[in-house]
Structure 1
Amino acid sequence: MPGTEPWSPNPGTAFWDYSGSGSGALEELEVCPSWDLPYSYAYIPTLYLAAFTVGLLGNTFVVWLLARRRGPRRLVDTFVLHLAAADLGFVLTLPLWAAAVARGGLWPFGQGLCKLSSFTLAATRCAGALLLAGMSVDRYLAVVKLLDARPLRTPRCALAVCGGVWAVALLAGLPSLAYRGLQPLPGGRGSQCGEEPSDAFQGLSLLLLLLTFVLPLGITLCCYCLISRRLHRAPHLGRARRTSLRLIFAVESAFVGSWLPFSALRAVFHLARLGVLPLPCHLLLALRWGLTLTTCLAFVNSCANPIIYLLLDRSFRAQVRRQACGCTRRGARRISSASSLTRDHSSLFRSGTYS
């Protein structure tokens, strides 16, 4: 995703135009030979399908776990629910990209699915970044501002924020609908799902990268710095809230660690395509290989959150075991999460008031 759209690696020997001129400039275009990483046609589809399987099961379970709740829901639950829905939308596109990579970059699903899957990846990645920023702001208000923030920390405000996030995410995905489509592969081997070589698209993608990744990342880091200062000054906040914060911090760290390398390389790619950052061919080849690897890392993040919950949240593990063993009883109390079963109040998923 250059900012908001996916990078689609195209296996096989090809030639890239890195001049950045897609507007009919008269200067001679620099053409560089390009090769894919060895055996990428095998391990990349395998990785995508593994992420699809884990992400589909894990995020579906999280959505079901929180959506089945009866009664009041904590504000953080709302963000977690929407985040899982965004990841679920993301993983549903992975089999399409896996099939394309396995076929040497050939896209066999037509123009419509190319645009739709590109739009879905763009919108859900943007939604994930903004939801995590919203979650950080909510935790900042809950820990630092406390009673002063009560008018802002209501279920209606949380739903309004999530609605606004999805509206922005859908808008951020529109360039993918407009500028991504079937592009001819070298040698007349068919078409790939790729972006048009347009300067306007490169500039817009760079701007969206700043607004939908760098800005939310800055907000998140600022909030956690302020939260950290507050925790050092007020150790009485308690183990439960600290544990919940560590779990949320792990989720956000996984997102940043997965998407930051990709976003940095995509920014370099946009600058190279625009001609602002001329690069020799050997660096351009290294950039392409780096984007291939960081794309895999970024895509795998779509299945990371349920794994984090499973590793760090004892109550979530208890609920998974109960569902896996078919031990849930119809006559049991209505619950929103595993924490209601185990009474583990340090769980991110525990039921209770809007705290």
Structure 2
Amino acid sequence: MQNSTAGINLDCGMSGSHQFIFILIPIVYSSTFVIGIIGNSMVVAVIFFYMNLKMVANIFVLNLAISDLTFLITLPMWATYTARGYQWPFGGFLCKATAGLATFNLYTSIFFLTALSIDRYLAIVHPVRSLRFRTPLYARITCVVIWLFALIVTVPIALTRDVIYITNTNTTVCGTLHLKIESTKWLKELLLATSVMKSLLGFVVPLIIIITCYCLISRALLGARHIQKSSRSRDDEVLRMLAVAVLAFFLCWVPHQVFHFMELISQLSKEKDCTLEEIIDTAMPFTICLAFFNSCVNPIVYGFVGRNFRKNLLQLLRCAPSGPARPHPSISSKMSTLSFRASEVLSLTTKSKASSDIK
């Protein structure tokens, strides 16, 4: 807490301190918390009680929902912090923990989406060769690696956050360590490294992998359509479900990534631009709201889009037993079935090409 007692003066004043932010943002945070907790809890419960946990897709979706729940518990603190006019009352440890969990959720969400995209690519394009890799054991190992790697790359974020007292505005904020507090070379390098890592590992690289997977899937399915026209609607449904998940993440996180990049440029600049800082600090809370809302979108994409999810949910609410003989179909099981059908079509395409070569 020594940083709090020392205090700093902001060169450009308290940018982004507007009364409408202190009213609107807490309402959005509270709504996101309620919707996200209910939605993700339903997804976890339905997957755990009514779906096959031996399926790779179900394992990834379950971990994604748990990741969102882990982050959502911090939203009441962020809502309180904003409603108090950026006055942080929860101490240094919770400041580091909540800031770390926000970035931790960014990494885990995009990593699990990437893993799910790779799994769909292997299931559809390489159905036979991927069988030995697409097992529950490998899926669980992948999840453990994702959790650990996300934790490792999040630790520097937590280390650069602390409670800071701003003397010229008389506010105690939870923010990034200011270079005037610890004017050391390692802090400047660490802040730069975490910013670049957040943009690359948390957005650019996974997005490239996901888009590549979907392009390869689309090319494979389009090449197989002339063999079996009846698979058109089924294949389109697989691609739509995958595309919606990526599009939702893209729309929710792009604005924040853009302003985060602008903030990085502002930090590296030798000359202070108070007008630019005012724009960034005013827009950043809204981009963060949109990014946090992605935790509510995931249950909709992975749960409510499935035709049988509502049946499973109603059965759960009625406390009806699932029955070991015939588990209810789900969005993930449906995706696996469609992948198998698509694989059959691709197999037919390969055989057809082989036959034409022989002739």
Indicate the TM-score class for this superposition, using the shorter chain for normalisation. Answer: 0.7 to 0.9
Query: How many residues are aligned here?
Result: 319
In structure 2, the residue matched to 1:254 is: 248
Mapped partners of 1:54, 1:240: distance in 2: 30
**1:141 aligned partner:** 122
**Is 1:234 paired with 2:224?**
yes
Of residues 278, 291, 294 in structure 2, which corresponds to 1:285?
278
Segments of structure 2 that go 5 or more residues without pairing to the other structure are 1-7, 179-186, 341-359
1:58 aligns with 2:39: yes
Task: Name the CA distance, whole Å, in 2 between partners of 1:112 and 1:134.
Answer: 32
Q: Does 1:296 align with 2:280?
A: no
How far apart are residue 15 of structure 1 and its match? 7.4
In the aligned structure 1, how far is the partner of 2:144 from the partner of 2:203? Answer: 18
% same residue:
30
The structure with the largest helix share of the pair is 2
Q: Which residue of 2 aligns with 1:348?
A: 332
CA shift, 1:69, in A, is 5.3
Asked whether the 8 Å contact 2:118–2:210 carries over to 1, the reply is yes
Which residue number in structure 2 is paired with residue 167 of structure 1?
Answer: 148
Equivalent AA in structure 1 for residue 297 of structure 2: A
In structure 1, give the amino acid aligned to 2:254: L
Amino acid of the residue matched to residue 147 of structure 1?
V
- With the length of structure 1 as denominator, give the TM-score of the two structures: 0.81
CA distance in 2, matches of 1:271, 1:154: 44
Cα deviation for residue 206 of structure 1 reads 2.4
Per-residue deviation, 1:102: 0.2
Matches within 5 A, 1:51-200: 51-68=32-49, 73-187=54-168, 189-197=170-178, 198-200=187-189
The equivalent residue for 1:47 is: 28
Deviation at 1:50, TM superposition (A): 0.6
Task: Indicate whether 1:329 and 2:313 are aligned.
Answer: no
Do the aligned partners of 2:117 and 2:210 also contact (CA within 8 Å) in 1?
Answer: yes
Cα distance in 2 for partners of 1:335, 1:206 equals 51
When structure 1 is superposed on structure 2, of 139-148 and 89-98 the one drifting more is: 139-148
Taking structure 2 as the reference length, the TM-score comes to 0.80
Shift of 1:72: 5.5
C-alpha separation in 1, matches of 2:212 and 2:336: 28
What do you get for the CA RMSD once the two structures are aligned? 2.7
Q: Which protein has the larger Cα radius of gyration, Structure 1 or Structure 2?
A: 2
CA contact 1:107–1:193 (8 Å) conserved in 2: yes
Is residue 2:257 matched to residue 1:263? yes
Alignment-mate amino acid for residue 277 of structure 2? L
Please state whether the residue corresponding to 1:34 is helix, strand or coil: coil
SS of the residue aligned with 2:310?
A: helix
Q: For residue 311 of structure 1, report the CA deviation from its aligned partner.
A: 4.5
